Structure 1
């Protein structure tokens, strides 16, 4: 009788857990071009309330400065780093023209739909290219991926939104995007939604660090308040579990605040606000990056990343257990010196090696297991004298996450 009761309790617990997982929903907002120092010094009651309930952290964009994955601090580049969890050397969006995105690096939207076809997605955007180019809406290269709901294209409607010199029309478009999102969230909340707002970046480009920029950020805070009220209503009325993330795509230059695109500290320094505590060991002790948002959403939404995708992700989840960070590789006289920072004391790290980069062309890389060492060791020395190559990809597989690095050998 006791055994039967235990089994019944287990079945009920598993059922409740599955039900809870199906109620996990995510809404993330990209508020364009707001440096961390601006966000931190202004009185923004809605954003600061969300941060108090959950978390706030400085973040960075731009890849690893001076390395193969250094990434321009430009808008669409940052969006795609968030969407794919990779830097520009992989997703291939170096500017706002978005000419040849590499769709072999899937977005978080496509990964969700591939695993959960029944789940709903939406985008609310002040820039149509986010859907048509970055998400690759209905393109053969993305398998004709589609979002279930989209609200965009307003910037193309010059009759309704007359393009004025001071760009007030962009604020009106942002307001419409927020209205669309609030109505949709309240009535038929998708499982994964992206809200993109442009006006703050326009004010930055026109006026730099200025009263106009500050006013734009304060108006953004009011818009965030409307979105979060809709999320709170969903949580109360439908018992849903929400991940609400707000971030930006780049900072601004130190001298005037008008420009961005370079690698100065302020241009690279961004931020992330969430209603959830993004505060595992990695996020607490290291400055996270925009590429970390994608695997964080994946973990929250119970998305299992295919192995070939997990091997390419540059980001680290900011929730849940994480084993390693800070991977480095260096070629020394026929050896590859591999190191990492251990965030746990037990377990091992498997070191995988390949001399190909076929993934970018939708083919398979032939990884070889070249070492397995205790995680706490923090390093491994891999002999490659008998497999000389000008290029290597190294993947470190730990119990709770993977890291990857590229290496070109000296000529």
Structure 2
């Protein structure tokens, strides 16, 4: 039976806690483009290995759940935005590299970070200008004119200094410039939240498929990642800073290595390497997803989100305490069958359901409280009690955060 209505507004959910910490928490993530897991597994990457040796390395998934509302193309900009917003394309509304109409009501981690910590510094070092101007939406009214404190990008349109060639060597040169600038700026300034994007490996896949050129592109990227890793180690050795580094890729590739965009196993399989030393059971025992990186970075940074935003995240933090993951919902006539995987004992959760999606237009959703569940049970049945809609947003509130699933009428 429904108990009460909760109007999500100013309540706050804390994704991470920062008090009591002596060291300043900082984070940087690297997206190196288009490297399938089976490639990174077989190519010598000593710097990625060094990062993982301090934390961990895992297979992950890009693409949402196939043949459901969250299915997301395995395309570059779509993958970047899935990381940036912690949501799949049905929410952030980026479906291809043209980036036509991003839904900025789902904030990027940079926008969320600066909203909570306006005095802290953000940076982007990128081989693609659209990452800053379109995906993050720098200086746009729709993002509240968010701006990075430092940016280094746009070289791909500078044909004077980087003349274009058919072999795409100019992209490698830009990646070199980007990685060197990132390392120098991190070493000198130590921004609080930063993004490095490297493109050349994807270009080698598109041009040569599974090939020595693709392998060489991965090796070149590893050297570039090494520069950034050295800068982070310098900061940690010389300043009271605790850095979380995440290195990932945005999609896999087709069997021949040339393409991507679909839902084949190789296109969906990506990977995550991190130096985080507080990896939880979700990281150890489960298959991570691209959308898990946002809440993981947020936890490390002590970033709090308004409750209505936290309830929209599709990912689960792979650092710190985790209560549950793998939340799914099936409708059976006038009831919902809920399932999840529990990672802690003796905890309880609460089920909330909203028959609307006003969030996508900047509005508030009315969530009905359907009571508590025992998380150890890993299943529950909820009677809808007359609540009906073509879209039901079902949220499982747990001690470590929120899990959400949409029930969409076909």
- TM class by shorter-chain length? over 0.9
Equivalent residue number for residue 9 of structure 2: none
Mapped partners of 2:76, 2:308: distance in 1: 27
Mapped partners of 1:65, 1:278: distance in 2: 31
Equivalent residue number for residue 355 of structure 1: 355
Kindly indicate whether residue 304 of structure 2 is the aligned counterpart of residue 282 of structure 1.
Answer: no
Kindly indicate whether residue 317 of structure 2 is the aligned counterpart of residue 317 of structure 1.
Answer: yes
Kindly indicate whether residue 266 of structure 2 is the aligned counterpart of residue 266 of structure 1.
Answer: yes
Query: In terms of Rg, which structure is larger?
Result: 1
Higher strand share: 2
Q: After superposition, where does 1:10-409 map in structure 2 within 5 Å? A: 17-20=20-23, 23-254=24-255, 256-277=256-277, 279-409=279-409
Mapped partners of 1:245, 1:77: distance in 2: 18
1:47 positional shift: 1.3
Deviation per CA, 1:159-217, whole angstroms, max 9, x where unpaired?
A: 11000010100000001101211111111110001000000000000001100011111
Q: Structure 1 residues 45-54 or 303-312, which shifts more?
A: 45-54
Give unpaired runs (5+ residues) of structure 1. Answer: 1-13
Mapped partners of 1:71, 1:369: distance in 2: 30
Q: Does the 8 Å CA contact 2:103/2:360 hold for their aligned counterparts? A: yes
RMSD: 1.4
Mapped partners of 1:331, 1:274: distance in 2: 37
Mapped partners of 1:146, 1:95: distance in 2: 23
Mapped partners of 2:59, 2:324: distance in 1: 20
Deviation per CA, 1:60-80, whole angstroms, max 9, x where unpaired?
A: 100011111000000000000
Mapped partners of 1:106, 1:172: distance in 2: 32
Deviation per CA, 1:382-411, whole angstroms, max 9, x where unpaired?
A: 22242222221100001112100000235x
Q: Structure 1 residues 96-105 or 40-49, which shifts more?
A: 40-49
Mapped partners of 1:339, 1:179: distance in 2: 47
1:296 positional shift: 0.2
Mapped partners of 1:47, 1:174: distance in 2: 17
Mapped partners of 1:308, 1:386: distance in 2: 24
1:229 positional shift: 0.7
Q: 1:113 to 1:222 in 2, by over 3 A?
A: same
Mapped partners of 1:182, 1:98: distance in 2: 29
Deviation per CA, 1:76-133, whole angstroms, max 9, x where unpaired?
A: 0000000000000000000000010000001111111011111000000000000000
Give unpaired runs (5+ residues) of structure 2. Answer: 1-16
Q: Does the 8 Å CA contact 1:55/1:278 hold for their aligned counterparts? A: no
1:357 positional shift: 0.3
Higher helix share: 1
Instruction: Report the TM-score when normalising by structure 2.
Output: 0.94
SS in 1 for 2:351: strand
1:371 positional shift: 2.0
Q: 1:388 to 1:186 in 2, by over 3 A?
A: closer
Mapped partners of 1:120, 1:243: distance in 2: 15
1:352 positional shift: 0.2
Mapped partners of 2:228, 2:18: distance in 1: 31
SS in 2 for 1:328: strand
Mapped partners of 2:373, 2:310: distance in 1: 20
Q: Does the 8 Å CA contact 2:22/2:240 hold for their aligned counterparts? A: no
Deviation per CA, 1:354-374, whole angstroms, max 9, x where unpaired?
A: 100000000000001012121
1:304 positional shift: 0.8
1:278 positional shift: 6.1
1:349 positional shift: 1.2
